[in-house]
Amino acid sequence: MLRNTGVQLLPADIAEQIIAGNRVVLAQAITLAESQRPQDVTLAHQLITTLLPNTGKSVRIGITGVPGVGKSTFIEAFGTWLTSQQKKIAVLAVDPSSSKTKGSILGDKTRMEKLARNPNAFIRPTPTGNTLGGVANRTRETILLCEAAGFDVILVETVGVGQSETTVRNMVDFFLLLLLAGAGDELQGIKKGIMEMADAVVITKADGENKKAAALACANYQQALHLFNAADSGWQPKVLTSSATENTGIAETWQLVQDYMEHVQTTGYLEKYRQAQNRNWFYESIQTQLLQKIALSEKVNANLARFESEIMNNTLLPSEAARQLLTEVFRGSI
């Protein structure tokens, strides 16, 4: 249960506060959803299930790009412009966790100082933890909580580690890829993977001496995108240039998002796509929870040392050790 000025709140009370737009309770609910404690997981699921009728009405946008491309700067300019259009936005900024200390800087509120002070914006930094794909373990739950709180646009900013940033594609409606001009990875960098998943590409920092290079990169990328197979949505990805400092390309990016949403809603693709995302979420959750169960299993802990010893002594293949371990764990239980 959450606490509000010393009073313990039940799921129905928490849901009521979130729907009313209470930012403090929303932040606490997200923390609850991120918790690994069994009692918190149960309460979070009860809460989000209660809120489900109030979800699904936002535009979910994933934003990725390599470090240095200016994701936070672009998001601040984009988010500020959206709030000027009477939109309420939530930014879910995912920061990398240290593989050694497990800590995370969580500096996105500092990088988006102006947007953080905007009353129509909510910024939630979250560490990746052990989750791959550029997002956090509970990003999907956080999206639903923010939708229930009445946010019109949800921006999911990924870690930004490169070609592996694809998990976010399965939890958003529109996938935006930010690129730099003249970064030494122009057309040879148009790889199947993250590029073919993008619904739009924005060339950032298109100002000053870089404006000409950005325009050339825009033309090259647009031409190259035509080489990819048509998207399942029937949408043809577009390429734009943008400068957060000069505030150019921001309104055009939102217009592109609106055009896309109109297209997928008219064709019925959006509903089918979100259903497919929920199905994927289901199977991913099975894998995650199975791994958690295995990690907590007494049988596993009792046999790990023996298997590790045989693996390191090259008397047993790691894959065979895994097979034997799982056989022992699930014998008679499935």
Cα angle at 177 between 135 and 92, to 5 degrees? 35
Name beta bridge partners: 125.
Answer: 93
Most distant CA pair in the chain, distance = 68
Q: How many residues does the chain have?
A: 334
C-alpha to C-alpha distance for 69 and 183, rounded to whole angstroms: 10
Which residue matches tokens 């100082």? 113
How far out from the chain centre does Cα 137 lie? 9
What pTM was computed for the model?
A: 0.87
Per-residue confidence (pLDDT) for residue 168, from 0 to 100: 85
Domains of the chain: 1-54 (1.20.5.170), 56-267 (3.40.50.300), 278-330 (no CATH)
Taking only the tens place, the pLDDT of each residue in 38-57 is 889 899 999 999 999 999 99
Give residue 2's pLDDT band: very low, low, confident or very high (50, 70, 90).
Answer: low
Taking only the tens place, the pLDDT of each residue in 92-125 is: 988 654 334 333 344 455 678 899 999 999 999 8
Does the pLDDT value for residue 332 go beyond 80?
no
Query: What is the structure's pLDDT at 165?
Result: 60
Collect all residues with Cβ–Cβ distance below 8 Å to 42 and sequence separation of at least 6.
none
Closest CA to 187 of 160, 161, 221, 164: 221
Q: For residue 89, what are the CA distances in angstroms to 60, 106, 128?
A: 10, 19, 21
Q: pLDDT by residue (tens digit) across 232-258?
A: 999 999 999 999 999 999 999 999 999
For 318-332, what is the mean pLDDT?
Answer: 84
